Amino acid sequence: MLKAPSIRALVVLALLGALFLALPAYVGAYGLKFATRMIILAIFVVSLDFILGLAGLVSFGHAAFFGVGAYAVYFVSSESEAANVFVALGAGVAGAAVAALLIGAFVCLTRGFYFIMVTLAAAQMMFSLFHDTDIAKGSDGAYIMIKPDLTIGATTLIDFDNRTTFYYVCLALLVASVLALFWLARTPFGRIVQGLKANETRLSALGYNVYQFKLAAFVVAGAFAGLAGALFACIDGFVTPELFSWHQSGLAIMMAVLGGAGTLFGPILGVLAYVSLEETLKTASLVGSFVADHWRLGTGATLVVAVLLSPDGLAGFLRGKTVPKKVEPLKDVMPAAAPRKARALATRDLSKSFGGLRAVDGVTADFAPDLVHAIIGPNGAGKTTFTNLLSGAFRPTAGQILVDGENIAGWPAHKIARRGVGRSFQRTNIFATFTVEENARIAAQAETPSVFRLSEGTARENQIAKVAHALSVVGLADRAGAVAGAMSNGEQRQLEIAMLIAGGGGILILDEPLAGMGPEETRRVVELLRDLKSDHTIILIEHDMDAVFAVADTLTVLALGRLIAHGSPDEVRRDEKVISAYLGGHAPAQGKGAPA
Amino acid sequence: MSLILVQILNGLQYGLLLFLAASGLTLVFGILGVINLAHGSFYMIGAYMALTLTSYTGDIFLALAAGIPLAFLIGMAIEWLFVRHLYKRDHLQQVLLTFALILVFNEAQQSIWGNYPKSIPMPSYLSSSISLTPELGYSVYRLALMAICVGLALLMMFVIQKTRVGRLIRAAESNPEMVEALGFDSRVLFRVVFAAGAALAAAAGMLAAPVESAYPGIGERVLIISFVVVVIGGIGSIRGAFLGSLLIGLADAFGKVFVPKFSSVLIYALMALVLVLRPNGLFGRS
Amino acid sequence: MSANSLLEARAIDAFYGASHVLRGVDFRVGRGETVSLLGRNGMGKTTLLRTLMGLVPARGGEIRFDGDDIKGRRPSAVARAGVGFVPEGRGIFPNLSVEENLIFAEREGPGGRRDWTREAIYQLFPRLLERRANWGNQLSGGEQQMLTIGRALMSNPTLLMVDEATEGLAPMVREDIWRTLRLIAERGVAIVVVDKNLDDLKKLCRRHVILVKGEVVFDGPTGELAARDDFVRSQLGL
């Protein structure tokens, strides 16, 4: 998750801040305009970093919102009178936010390659809209006759026509924007936004509607881009469809990555570096006329080299020394008892087909509350598909899934999670870049998964208690500060169970929780499962037969997608069908282990 | 009536050219897993190669014969120099590097050929028009262009469905690791696929040059529309690219007549519609 | 390396992400020899096969095949040197027909051997002949497994590495796979098998290797395996 900048970075930023504060006293009109442009660009690129670096969404159409912000100022300005500064900038922010909401509603349906292409296409559509039609004088661009100002009574407090005033307004807004986005990233909302980048699947399995969070982050970033656009329109008082150009979006990504995406301050350095590079390459007296004539070749080539050599950007050089912080082991506190969200699970004729293959074929089974139910069967028997149906990762082809009698078949994963069904994954599925505590925190926060939670509010104490309790229970209380991705496989699997406990689901589906664990860890998890069943219904998929027989109250055997036995371990052990189909003539207790 | 016929022909012609460009883009996605923003630059290079090579050889078809292999070689060089470093990197870095390549290509184009649009002569023997209906004539070159595009599309389908290279391509699409474990050097395969995509895009640019001339920014226009085609058709699907291209070609042709100012917007609206109805495109895998 | 070694790996280390999966593994296979690779879940069996194949980089040690150093070579080079690979999960090409899957891998083996042709594969697996026009994804699990084995043989390997070939198959089909593997071994192809069914492995393989936590804890012939039954059962978790 987003860390506060290191001391070294703060020093650099403070020096830059001082430099920019003093700048108007030393440079002429051209220099001031140049600096203003750079500051506005920085607001734009920092806003991009919010979705690009923090949420991990590569938007190639961010200029769309920059352009909308600029045009909004044009629309609210009249030819005879200056627009109010707040109206002008407000219109830019609001216009861009609305555009981001409309465009985001489509693009947030997609991911990966599609997201990149669709955001690019959306921005290009905006370009066409302003370029091909007569809106705001079409391809010629349009002038804002009188720049916005702030006049109260007869005194003009702020006049954007005054270059120095305007410069300081921009500088102040840059600082405010960075601080605001930084603050937002540290709220519960921001935590989930960063979770999007770290592990989207996990988020929805915890009960978060990822679409809403993506869209919200997209709108936030769009609104700040709109602010930058609105300011940009006030530099020359001129707006043109080129503001929407996809080159603009591409350069913004360049600068964000060059400076260090995902840090929120790195992009400022990226802007400075890129703009300085461009200026230097354009200056014939510095680089010779040949290079200056072909400066684009130089910037392009420099960027190619930068991408290939340095994935972390300039902010990487300003990273503080990573001294692992000593974290006191969390004290186990019992969180306030919450009403149990779900207890009993059952399936009726549950089926799933992939093409012609019936991976799960008419499974009917009842899983009574507060017991451990193990599901076993050879690989390819459909166990994981079965759990994916229960948790909503796959949509059933037919049949019902009943949680306390309510049919949840076909619900999206996040809704099922909110109904009280938590799951772990066959391959460990955590937020690798988050600390152990932050992982558990995201799970605990899922009790109120609404989008705009900007403060922890009254739930804070209880969430912290839940986190402490869950981590203590699985034995990770002393590892709270460790980065999850750097822990051993066994510890990561324990963390997954802690997340389920903190998430508060009443029904827990554990897909091979013991895979890759040593004997000591295995014993501990088996103990833990015994404890947990006092107030959880547990569905356990496991290959380790010793563990299964040690902990399971019922056994369900799947083979080729069908349920071939369901009952107490002893009954199943003696079942002829099980012995021939699954255990292949071996006595049950010596059944196969698990895949390597 | 004849207006509609002309627009159908224009739409098909545009769509077929788009298909040549978009099929390479979708193949490179599907097999190499790389999002190549510089793909449009190959189209641009094609258009300008048509200019230069036609001036040497005197004929666009001779230029084509020389230009396609040349584009293939350029594609191989670009893959070897830059793209191969991207296979294990994330989308963001792919986007960045290929975007930077666009800047380089654009500057190279302006340095070599300048900023002004250049027209490329049609071969004299095809510059006439034939009458489709008593009152309607249509350029013979455009018809020939369509025939060549159809020929290239069929050739590509044949290669993919029936030849050894095609089997490799299809296998690599589903399981590149297994292709490697069965003794095929995937580096070679990737280079060939990338170069073939580049050659197809350049071929489209060359064929189109006598009709639409060569000008700066031509490649980016094609790139963005190719993205729309790929989104509509579904990533990695040649069939989807074919259908998407024709759809976009026709939508563009009719949009220009009936809603001239909104014809571009119409195309994006079409994409948005497909996206809502089928988020993975018409032929995309979920 | 000893004169009749086909594959000889010494002191192999390998990592999966951050975890150290193989720790100084020694592993050898003689010409025409059949060796089983045993161990519980997560002990490194699959990683060992993938490392030998070149799909996972070996960090230390050396790997020689047929006298050549193959450590650090690309998987394709290892395959061309004569190693056939049947991965866990089968890895058939779903968008190629059965026949295309086979033709795909067709090649001369080391020394120009062409023992395995399509006809030979169809003789081995008559089911595949019936289904040769079907797409890969239209096959049952057993048929897919046959196809993967047949496809690996089409490259005329001198060593066949088989990972969990009977996993998830019905008992009858499993029996079929085991019989076929024995036939292949009789034709002189060396085989390394990862599987869970100890009894079947004893029938196929002359030598057995047990991995525990990425280290070899047992390497001996079938007789010794039977003699140390308690130790073996405890190591395999039976």
pLDDT on residue A82: 83
| Residue A581 at interface with chain C, using a CB cutoff of 8 Å | yes
Residue C125 contacts by C-beta under 8 Å, 6 or more apart in sequence? C146, C147, C149, C150, C180
| Residue A300 at interface with chain B, using a CB cutoff of 8 Å | yes
> Which residues of chain A from 235 to 274 reach within 8 Å of chain B, CB to CB?
246, 250, 253-254, 257, 261
Question: In angstroms, what separates the C-alpha of A257 from chain B's closest C-alpha?
Answer: 8
Neighboring chain A residues of B230 at a CB cutoff of 8 Å:
117
A88 touches A148 (CB < 8 A): yes
Residue B285 lies in a domain: no
In 3D space, the residue among A28, A234, A41, A40 whose CA is nearest the CA of residue A150 turns out to be A234
Task: Tell me the residue range of the domain where A250 lies.
Answer: 7-318
| Average pLDDT rounded to a whole number, residues C197-212 | 91
Closest by Cβ to C91, choosing from B170, B178, B184 = B178
| Residue B160 at interface with chain C, using a CB cutoff of 8 Å | no
Neighboring chain A residues of C194 at a CB cutoff of 8 Å:
596
% of chain C at pLDDT higher than 90: 62
**Where would I find the beta strands (DSSP E) of C157-230?**
159-163, 190-194, 207-212, 215-221
Q: Using one digit for the tens of pLDDT, what is the confidence trace for A460-474? A: 788 888 899 999 988
Neighboring chain A residues of B227 at a CB cutoff of 8 Å:
117, 120-121
Residue A35 lies in a domain: yes
Indicate the average pLDDT of chain A.
Answer: 86
In 3D space, the residue among B24, B44, B22, B41 whose CA is nearest the CA of residue B32 turns out to be B24
pLDDT on residue A581: 59
pLDDT on residue A325: 58
pLDDT on residue B278: 84
CA separation for the pair A174, A160 (Å, rounded):
16
The three-class DSSP label of residue C121 is helix
What CATH number is associated with residue A401? 3.40.50.300
Residue A532 lies in a domain: no
> Of A269, A302, A318, which residue is a domain's last?
A318
Neighboring chain B residues of C162 at a CB cutoff of 8 Å:
none
Instruction: With residue A563 as reference, give the H or E element that holds it.
Output: strand A562-567
Give the residue, C117 or B275, on which the prediction is more confident.
C117
Residue A273 lies in a domain: yes
| Residue C59 at interface with chain B, using a CB cutoff of 8 Å | no
pLDDT band at residue A228 using 50, 70 and 90 as cut-offs: very high
CA separation for the pair A296, C73 (Å, rounded):
40
Is the pLDDT confidence value at A428 over 80?
Answer: no
Question: In angstroms, what separates the C-alpha of B185 from chain A's closest C-alpha?
Answer: 24
| Residue A520 at interface with chain C, using a CB cutoff of 8 Å | no
The two three-digit tokens of residue A285, written as one number: 């007296």
A561 touches A353 (CB < 8 A): no
Interface touch C164/A380, C-beta < 8 Å: no
pLDDT on residue B152: 92
Interface touch C75/B167, C-beta < 8 Å: no
Residue B283 lies in a domain: no
Q: Using one digit for the tens of pLDDT, what is the confidence trace for A11-39? A: 999 999 999 999 999 998 889 999 999 99
The three-class DSSP label of residue A155 is strand
Sheet holding C34-38, edge to edge: C83-86, C159-163, C190-194, C34-38, C207-212, C215-221
Q: Using one digit for the tens of pLDDT, what is the confidence trace for A322-371? A: 555 556 677 777 777 677 777 899 999 999 987 667 889 999 999 999 99
Assess whether A314 and A397 both reside in one domain: no
Residue B273 lies in a domain: yes
Ranges of H-type helices in A246-294: 246-259, 266-282, 284-287, 289-293
pLDDT band at residue A300 using 50, 70 and 90 as cut-offs: confident
pLDDT band at residue C142 using 50, 70 and 90 as cut-offs: confident
Is the pLDDT confidence value at A246 over 60?
Answer: yes
Beta pairing class for B136-139 and B129-133: antiparallel
Assess whether A12 and A111 both reside in one domain: yes
Assess whether A266 and A365 both reside in one domain: no
Give the residue, A282 or A271, on which the prediction is more confident.
A271
CA separation for the pair C238, C229 (Å, rounded):
10
Interface touch A303/B103, C-beta < 8 Å: yes
Split into its structural domains, chain B has a count of: 1
Residue B284 lies in a domain: no
Is the pLDDT confidence value at A595 over 60?
Answer: no
**Could you tell me the CA-to-CA distances from B133 to A312, B12, B20, B142, B250 in Å, in that order?**
63, 18, 29, 16, 21
Assess whether A370 and A241 both reside in one domain: no
Sign of the alpha-carbon dihedral angle for A19, A21, A23, A29: positive
C-alpha torsion A16→A18→A22→A27, nearest 10: -10
Question: In angstroms, what separates the C-alpha of B189 from chain A's closest C-alpha?
Answer: 22
Assess whether A294 and A347 both reside in one domain: no
What class, spelled out in words, does domain C5-236 have in CATH?
A: alpha beta
Interface touch C95/B167, C-beta < 8 Å: no
pLDDT on residue A149: 84
Beta bridge partners of B204: none
The three-class DSSP label of residue C42 is coil
Split into its structural domains, chain A has a count of: 2
Residue B282 lies in a domain: no
CA separation for the pair C32, C1 (Å, rounded):
16
CA separation for the pair A198, A499 (Å, rounded):
15
Neighboring chain A residues of B269 at a CB cutoff of 8 Å:
125
Cα A12 to chain centroid, rounded:
28
Task: Tell me the residue range of the domain where B241 lies.
Answer: 2-277
pLDDT on residue A486: 81
B96 touches A257 (CB < 8 A): yes
C190 touches C160 (CB < 8 A): yes
Assess whether A225 and A83 both reside in one domain: yes
By CB atoms closer than 10 A (0-12, 13-18, 19+), residue B81 is: exposed
Residue B39 lies in a domain: yes
Interface touch A134/B268, C-beta < 8 Å: no
Window from A84-98, A142-156, B220-234 with minimum mean pLDDT: A142-156
Q: Using one digit for the tens of pLDDT, what is the confidence trace for C213-230? A: 889 999 999 999 889 888
Residue A269 lies in a domain: yes
B191 touches C113 (CB < 8 A): no
Q: What is the ipTM of this complex?
A: 0.90
Which residue has tokens 């993919």?
Answer: B160
**pLDDT tens digits in sequence order for chain B, 286 residues long:** 678 888 999 999 999 999 999 999 999 988 898 999 999 999 999 999 999 999 999 899 999 999 999 999 999 999 999 999 888 888 888 888 899 899 899 999 998 999 899 999 888 888 888 887 777 788 899 999 999 999 999 999 999 999 999 999 999 988 889 999 999 999 999 999 999 999 999 999 999 999 999 999 899 999 999 999 999 998 888 889 999 999 999 999 999 888 888 888 899 989 888 888 888 888 876 5
Neighboring chain A residues of C236 at a CB cutoff of 8 Å:
593
Assess whether A152 and A262 both reside in one domain: yes
Q: Quickly count: other Cβ atoms within 10 Å of residue A476's Cβ.
A: 25
What CATH number is associated with residue B248? 1.10.3470
In 3D space, the residue among C214, C210, C216, C215 whose CA is nearest the CA of residue C234 turns out to be C210
In 3D space, the residue among B7, B32, B57 whose CA is nearest the CA of residue B169 turns out to be B32
Interface touch C105/B174, C-beta < 8 Å: no
| Residue B182 at interface with chain C, using a CB cutoff of 8 Å | yes
Domain ranges of chain C: 5-236
pLDDT band at residue A301 using 50, 70 and 90 as cut-offs: confident
Residue A452 lies in a domain: no
pLDDT band at residue A593 using 50, 70 and 90 as cut-offs: very low
Beta pairing class for A421-423 and A507-511: parallel
